[in-house]
Amino acid sequence: MKTLAYGDKLSSKERVVRTFKHEKTDRVPVDYYANPRIDQQLKAYFGLKADDGEGLKKALGVDFRGVYAKYEGKRLHAERAERDVDPQWGWVTKYIEHESGGYWDFCDFPLTEADEETVAKWPMPSPDDFDYSKIHSECETHREYAVFVGHAGLGCIMNTAGFLRGMEQVFVDLALDEPAGLLLIDRMLAIQLEVVHREIEVAKGGIDFMWIGEDLGTQNGPLISMETFRKHIKPRQKPFFDLAKAYNLPVMLHTCGSSSWSYEEYIEMGLTAVDTLQPEAKNMSPEYLKNTFGNRLAYHGCISTCGPVAFGTSEETVKYCQRTLDIMMPGGGFCFAPTHSLQDNSLLENVIAMYATAHKHGKY
């Protein structure tokens, strides 16, 4: 099988653990997320079957693996024609086509006008309806890799509540302390917290870090005020940090857009690493992050999905990735990854160049 990884001296687990601590390592850790069309092109390039996600991760030299408990309960929300309805939570999406593919976008927002009683009765999954039995064995299978629990939506408040209530109403809820909106948020977070607690417990030490998220910025600035953040976001995410601390796990936070305004607050809570890091957004460039936060944070991302990878040549992609590495690598603490899922308009040759550069230029 073709692979871009070569000459590694450490295991992926050792590499990521050391990177999170800003300790010496052999190369930058590498991560990968992509939309279906470019994902299939990459698998074909490496001679892999369409469903061989693990094979693609090995070919790209990806250092991270996630584990999670699969939902085994009944469908709580009915299916609908021309819509996709999430069986657990009930949010609704419709398929939007574009010239390079398509995606499922949230719509209809069934709880936009719901009162507190309606939210209280809205069907949600029980932590008892998840299968935790395979977590430990999966950790063992991936013991050479950095194994995380959670995802970019774990502990996410505004974005996730917006799936059901609509973003405009969520902002109103937070601004006016709307009981129905706050109840929705708290019900969802309580279930997530219990599920991830059980996942960590049954892993028996096989987890290396927790991944949580909160979309906090537009391209130009914060989505909410610091007052609202401190009142509604920070205290609701603190239990996730407390849980991670109880098991001695680092926390990595996914934040889209201009989010660095919140990082000092998160550092106080014990944040280890920040994820996504869209360089086009205000105060999110590699230079700004390194100059402002230095080795107080580790970094995961920084490779733009709307820059040269999508719109440039392979030569421009190489130069762009090299420059980012030159800024972020000194002092350690950098994990090379796209700022979000690689989009369907990403050029295959550019994505290959992107990961080849990480392995060649990302060595210490």
**CA 120 to chain centroid:** 29
SS3 275: strand
For 185-189, what is the mean pLDDT? 98
Q: Note every long-range contact of 36-41, with CB atoms under 8 Å and residues 24 or more positions apart, other chains counting.
A: 36/101, 36/344, 37/100, 37/101, 37/344, 38/342, 38/343, 38/344, 38/346, 38/348, 38/351, 39/342, 41/348
The predicted pLDDT at position 4 comes to 85
Residue 301 · residue 273 · CB < 8 Å: no
According to the model, what pLDDT value does residue 99 have? 83
Per-residue pLDDT band for 167 (boundaries 50, 70, 90) equals very high
Q: What is the pLDDT of residues 190-233, one digit of tens each?
A: 999 999 999 999 999 999 999 999 999 999 999 999 999 999 99
Ordered strands of the 298-303 beta sheet: 64-67, 146-150, 209-213, 251-255, 273-276, 298-303, 334-338
3-58 residue pLDDT tens:
887 788 999 999 999 999 999 999 999 999 999 999 999 999 999 999 999 999 99
Q: Are 86 and 153 in contact (CB under 8 A)?
A: no
The confidence score (pLDDT) of residue 1 equals: 65
The pLDDT tens digits for 47-79 are: 999 999 999 999 999 999 999 999 999 999 999
Q: How far apart are CA 335 and CA 300, in angstroms?
A: 5
Taken in order of first residue, the domains within the chain and their CATH numbers are 12-69+127-156+199-361 (3.20.20.210)
Q: How far apart are CA 305 and CA 308, in angstroms?
A: 8
User: What mean pLDDT do residues 289-304 have?
Assistant: 98
Identify whether the C-beta of residue 130 lies closer than 8 Å to the C-beta of residue 197. no
